[in-house]
A and B are shown apart, each in its own frame.
Chain A
Amino acid sequence: MNAELSELRDSARQVLAAEGLAAPEDKTWPLALDLGWLLVAVPEAQGGLGQGLAGACAFHAEMGRSLCAAPYLPAMLAMEAAIHAGREDWIERLGASGFVTAPLVDPTLTITDGGIVAGMASAVPSADRASHVLLGSEAGDCVALVALQQAGIDARHRETWDTTRRLFDLRFDNVAGDPSLVLARGNDAHVLSRRLATHRDFALAADAVGGAATALEMTVEYLKTRRQFGRPLALFQALKHRCADLKARIAAAEALLADSLVRVGTEVDSERAEALGKAAKSFAVSAYAAVAEEMLQLHGGIGMTAEHACHLFLKRALLDEQLGRCTSYELDVADTLLGAG
């Protein structure tokens, strides 16, 4: 991580820590906008920080670390799309005040040549606050922004166990898109879709390693203070070893993520980047879930209470596992190594 980025990252960490864990969207989203966090991956020539995907991931990790409720991830996907479709107008708009959301799983919809959108997009964060949604057709041949305030769109909030995200189902009943908002078609759209899916997987990996790190820190802190049998729980080797294993697992996920980001470099739209993102994401979210499960167990009864933060980590971890491209990645890896089964 370069010095500029780590400085930005540290200041974001401080700001988010001051807001507290799982700080609400209406407090943290304005911060993200005001402090320029959406510009981290925008090239310097276009007024951004030019830190690329690795820079974006440093911020995604901070969102995870603080269980941030701001819809930073979908907004960054929209920004990535604007950057790579060469839409300076949208880069400016998204960086300044506009919010465009995007589904966190692949939508099942079609976009005709005439721009008619039909189908469904699930897991769309904070859609009620967004002016537009970034959509890719299932066939991968079109990526477009679609205005949300129009007839034929049914937006339904779906309450999730994870209260740090507000997800919507969007149903499109032959909605007429705006041709000027089509960002890519044909092969360009395939490449852009892959880029966006890759960014999404890496972002989820970063969210997971950030969340897992906080979860373990809080658990260790609790074990150091909680006393039973006349001694702090942290003195029991059985518990120390479990924490050490979790630490090693998080470190492995962080190392894989960092290594993969280096390998990807600027070729975020390559097939290799896509595979690396999937692996990094799967590895990280399963580590996050494991840490969050242990966090609750190691906190004992207090971890079962709604007022303690344990469940927030567990629920965000369990949701992270289901976002991105969660089709059995182990089998994809086996396909790569062995050929299709």
Chain B
Amino acid sequence: MSQAPEALRTEVRAWLQNNIPRDWRAAMTGTDQDAFVRAQREWFGKLVKAGYATPHWPEGWPGGGRSLAEQKIIYEEVARADAPRLILFFVALYHAACTLIEWGTDEQKRAHLPGILDGKLWCQGFSEPNAGSDLAAVRTRAELRGDRYVINGQKIWSTLAQHADYCLLLVRTDTAGPPQAGLTYLLLDMRSKGVSVRPIAQITGDDEFSEIFLDDVEVPVSDRVGGEGQGWAVAQSTLASERGLTLVELSHRMRYALNRITGLMRARGVAGDAALRRDLGRLAPKVDAACALADQYLLKRIENTEAPGDASIVKLHYARTLRDFTALGLRIAGLQGQYREPFIRGGGMETGNWPFDFMNSYNWTIAGGSDEIQRNIIAERMLGMPREPKDWRL
């Protein structure tokens, strides 16, 4: 590795050491959404100023124009430092920004990119009650009336939509032809008349996701991204926008978090338990493999050698390993783990509240294309096994 990347690493490491909110885990334990949002905004402000929030943006933006290799270094250091994740801003910084940069008009970019840096929040309106893994089945209708679309329908699983200023909205403008061809991509102002948001109580006690109800909501045609009927293609670039960085960060975080398991074993007085030691010994190389997969996947993206299905393998392996990780913690925690404790809001995937972490791990086996979808992709696109005929219906 040349000198420059190591210099960046040193710089980021030092900055994080001096700037991570002190005792942020304690501060976010048992807190409410408002306190969480305040803390996230404060952390976001610091990162934007330092240029570490937008290394993936083009040159000219704060810290922008960083190579993917440099971005990887920043994420590795964020994981190493156990810094808070910027989950409140993730959709804005990646999904919204990258979609606008790739597909947006100059006017759209001018209207929204600076706002993101000022803290405008975005949410994603893709999934629906009947279009989850099968995203092309989106039914929310948009009808063109003059220079506006009128929208009716319902979106679901929209992360932190209750705080969002804008929404990346995938709607159906045409019902004829193949389902992908009738989709259109809009930018929705969440303050528009007819938008209502209802947070969903989750099994973890958190309410990270929301439902969005759209009742005769009007969106100007000028807020359409790409052409009418191009929504599927635009949505694909939204989903590809983080380019594997998230799983680099998360798998490295999981490796550091192995010390939560060992700490728990010591605290519970079971560090000598042969069965638990064996389970730990089985888990650790799996975690190492998750890091290796994520790192090598990113390398493929840097070198443009990614093959179909590569991303699915990274996600599937990570998700299964996270399940194993949290299940082991849960088992070591024993009866004590069954007594309800307040959770850490925005604390990541390994907070040490083991029942919370275990239940939260389903996020990764279900959201963003469930394990089953990933297996279909691997089987069909990597192994070349046949797809089921489209006309199979019961």
Contacts and interface: CB of A to CB of B under 8 A. Distances in A.
Contacts of B285: 256, 279-280, 282-283, 333
B323 interface: no
Interface stretch (B76-84, B105-113, B189-197, B383-391): B383-391
A255 B266 CA distance: 31
Contact of A333 (B280, B293, B372): B280
A337 B284 contact: yes
A241 B288 contact: no
B156 interface: no
Contact of B293 (A224, A247, A252, A280): A252
Given A241-B379, A244-B375, A279-B285, A338 B386 contact: no
Q: Is the interface of A mostly helix, strand, loop or mixed?
A: helix
Considering residues A224, A240, A244, A333, which has the most beta carbons from chain B within 10 angstroms of its beta carbon? A244
B293 A341 contact: no
A168 to B, nearest CB: 32
Contacts of A334: 277-278, 280-281
A144 B271 CA distance: 41
B376 A252 contact: no
B272 interface: yes
Given A240-B379, A259-B288, A283-B285, A251 B278 contact: no
Considering residues A220, A232, A245, A252, which has the most beta carbons from chain B within 10 angstroms of its beta carbon? A252
B236 to A, nearest CB: 21
For chain A, give the interface size range: 35 or more
B174 interface: no
Contacts of B274: 331, 341
Interface in B254-303: 258-259, 262, 265-266, 271-272, 274, 277-282, 284-286, 288-293, 295-296
A265 B291 CA distance: 18
Nearest to A276: B288
Given A220-B383, A333-B280, A341-B274, A241 B292 contact: no
Contacts of B376: 237, 240-241, 244
B71 to A, nearest CB: 19
A248 interface: yes
Contact of B271 (A252, A279, A329, A338): A338
Given A237-B388, A247-B313, A330-B281, A338 B378 contact: no
B206 interface: no
A290 to B, nearest CB: 13
Interface string B364-394: 0000000010111111101111101000000
B386 A235 contact: yes
B333 interface: no
B290 A252 contact: yes
B293 A338 contact: no
Contact of B375 (A232, A245, A251): A245
8 contacts: A224-B385, A252-B290, A256-B285, A256-B288, A258-B292, A258-B296, A259-B295, A330-B279
In the A-B complex, list the 8 residue pairs whose CB atoms are closest, starting with the nearest. Answer: A330-B281, A259-B292, A240-B379, A334-B277, A333-B281, A244-B375, A244-B378, A255-B292
